[in-house]
Amino acid sequence: MTAQHAEEPAELVPRPEMTFPALRAALARVASSRLAEFQADRDSAFTAATQHASFNPIRMFQVKWATEIEIERRPALAARYRAALDGANTFDRDDPRWRAAMDECMAVRNEARAAVTCD
């Protein structure tokens, strides 16, 4: 008898709303090791928003972390991103494969950002 492997889900968690609690909860499920970074970025965003009397730093924070979560919550997208990062960190900059890896990193990030900012 052969064991059948369950297919990996297309999404680990639903796409969160663009609120701090929803983003934090989703990040805790897909990349909990980054929670301290999330909190530090949040603090910086609030400080910048206060200093400049603008909501733009908060919006940028939300889009940045929604994009990070979008990549991590979709295993296939995360695998593409990790493979591209590995190539970017392995190949010399004058190797054409380095440029291809960097282009793939940007393509993944653009796909994730488009998914979270399409509203």
Structure tokens that stand for 91 in this block: 């190949």
> At a CB cut-off of 8 Å and minimum separation 6, what does 45 contact?
57, 58, 60, 61
State residue 119's pLDDT score. 57
Phi-psi region for residue 53, left (φ > 0), alpha (ψ -120 to 50) or beta?
Answer: left
Taking 3-state DSSP, the helix, strand and coil percentages for the chain, each rounded to the nearest 5, stand at: 75, 0, 25
State residue 1's pLDDT score. 45
Alpha-carbon dihedral sign for residues 43, 111, 99, 72:
positive
User: What does pLDDT average to in each consecutive run of 10 residues of the chain (119 residues)?
Assistant: 62 95 98 98 97 97 98 96 95 94 97 89
Residue ranges with strand state E in 11-115: none
Residue 69 three-state SS: helix
CB 94 within 8 A of CB 46: no
The residue behind tokens 């990070």 is 68
Q: What does pTM read for this prediction?
A: 0.87
